[in-house]
Amino acid sequence: MPIPEELIRIFQKQKYQVLGKHSAVKTCFWTRQALNTAEEKYCYKQKFYGIRSLRCLQMTPSLGRCLQACLFCWRATSTDLGIKWNETDFPQEEAEPASSIVEESIKAQRRALIGFKGNLEIDKSLLDLALNPVHAAISLEGEVTLYPRIGELIEEYFNHGFETVLLVTNGLRPDVLSRIGKEPSQLYVSVSAPDESTYRSVCRPLISDGWERLNETLELLKSFSCPTVIRMTLAKGVNMINAEGYSRLIEKADPTYLEPKAAMAVGFFTRRLPWKAMPFYREIREFAESLSRLTGYGVINEAEPSGVVLLSKLKKARKLTG
């Protein structure tokens, strides 16, 4: 099933570069900020894990395809346009080769940044680094594990000289994760509800057994050798509730890190939720401290501009790059 033209137009308006039939790249705000040598600005992944924003490429191999339609998502979801996806809408034979997706994503990143060559205030040595990314975040939009060759995609980024490859999933394809082959440098699972009732009303799964699948994925996390992260995107009065429920899910998964993060009132978020649903940073910090008391995970870092707190049983985060 092809991506509807209306959805593609929305993505292009939001500065996504569509690649082939089902992939896309969007240059991160923090990558552009890192080119400004007047101020040292970078995203929380650099502060927490050493992933340099300047050299990070964010992409998706599953543009527009997701098995959830979360209320707090700032992107246009399929539900906004009356589209419903399922796993059978992305058959193996329609999946483009991982090697070509990687090559085209690097070209897209370069196209997006090449205009900085005309900016006399930009340090050209920094721009040269940005034009040659070495960190890939397979996330951006959609559910990436719907791409049938996701393990090959991870491997291809490593084969192209990338130092780190992050994978972010909503956890609804435990069957894919259980046989992924090449592990990413770090695996993120989005857990944005503390119980099934909240999950159904807030994450709005497009499949009947979404909660069961998510819990199966949480059980799987202990089998991964790479660091694992439970990310909680939190909206005030929506899913930033019941810390005890989150703590039970965390106990089940035993991840390396927790990342409670503020949902941002931008884009399509504002069509579904009021502005006041975006938490202040102090509220995220308070919720993180509640999780800490319940789980034994300690706060080891924080990034106020990104509205995120990092918790772990480790004393500090492992750097993913040298």
Lowest mean pLDDT among 132-136, 146-150, 251-255, 267-271: 267-271
Q: What share of the chain is helix, strand, coil (3-state, %, to 5)?
A: 40, 15, 40
* The two three-digit tokens of residue 252, written as one number: 């089940």
Mean pLDDT, residues 207-233:
97
Contact between residue 263 and residue 276 where contact means Cβ atoms under 8 Å apart: no
Name residue 100's amino acid.
Answer: S
Q: Is residue 71 part of a domain?
A: yes
Q: Is residue 278 part of a domain?
A: yes
Kindly tell me if the per-residue pLDDT of 234 is higher than 80. Answer: yes
If pLDDT is split at 50, 70 and 90, which confidence band does 297 have?
Answer: very high
If pLDDT is split at 50, 70 and 90, which confidence band does 11 have?
Answer: confident
CATH for 98: 3.20.20.70
Contact between residue 217 and residue 188 where contact means Cβ atoms under 8 Å apart: no
Q: How far apart are CA 106 and CA 59, in angstroms?
A: 10
User: What sign results for the dihedral spanned by CA atoms 56, 57, 62, 66?
Assistant: positive
Q: Give the range of the structural domain holding residue 199, as residue numbers without chain letter.
A: 5-312
Kindly tell me if the per-residue pLDDT of 12 is higher than 90. Answer: no
Contact between residue 235 and residue 93 where contact means Cβ atoms under 8 Å apart: no
Give Dmax (Cα) for the chain.
55
Mean pLDDT, residues 13-42:
83
Q: Is residue 29 part of a domain?
A: yes
Phi, psi of 121 (to 5 degrees): -85, -5
Phi, psi of 56 (to 5 degrees): -105, 135
Q: What is the pLDDT of residue 9?
A: 82
Q: 276 Cβ partners below 8 Å, 6+ apart? A: 236, 237
Q: Is residue 318 part of a domain?
A: no
Kindly tell me if the per-residue pLDDT of 322 is higher than 70. Answer: no
Q: Among residues 16, 50, 297, which one has the least CA distance to residue 141?
A: 16
Kindly tell me if the per-residue pLDDT of 87 is higher than 70. Answer: no
Strand segments, DSSP code E, in 8-52 are: 17-19, 23-25
Q: Is residue 322 part of a domain?
A: no
Token pair 């990413």 in the structure block, residue: 184
Q: How far apart are CA 203 and CA 70, in angstroms?
A: 4
Number of domains in the chain: 1
What is the pTM (predicted TM-score) of this model? 0.94
Q: What is the pLDDT of residue 146?
A: 92
* The two three-digit tokens of residue 141, written as one number: 């939009």
pLDDT digits (tens, 9 = 90+) for 58-77: 999 998 888 899 999 988 77
Mean pLDDT, residues 154-172:
97
Q: What is the pLDDT of residue 1?
A: 61
194, 218, 252 from 211: Cα distances, Å: 11, 11, 14
Q: Is residue 320 part of a domain?
A: no
- β-pair type (257-262, 228-234): parallel
Distance from the Cα of residue 19 to its chain's centroid:
19
Kindly tell me if the per-residue pLDDT of 85 is higher than 70. Answer: no
Count other Cβ atoms within 10 Å, centred on residue 103: 14
Look over the chain and give the mean of its residue pLDDT values, rounded to a whole number: 91
Contact between residue 95 and residue 148 where contact means Cβ atoms under 8 Å apart: yes
Q: Among residues 118, 245, 130, which one has the least CA distance to residue 192?
A: 245
Q: Among residues 32, 67, 21, which one has the least CA distance to residue 172?
A: 67
If pLDDT is split at 50, 70 and 90, which confidence band does 55 have?
Answer: very high
Q: What is the pLDDT of residue 34?
A: 84
Phi, psi of 74 (to 5 degrees): -85, -5
Q: Is residue 317 part of a domain?
A: no
% of the chain at pLDDT higher than 90: 70
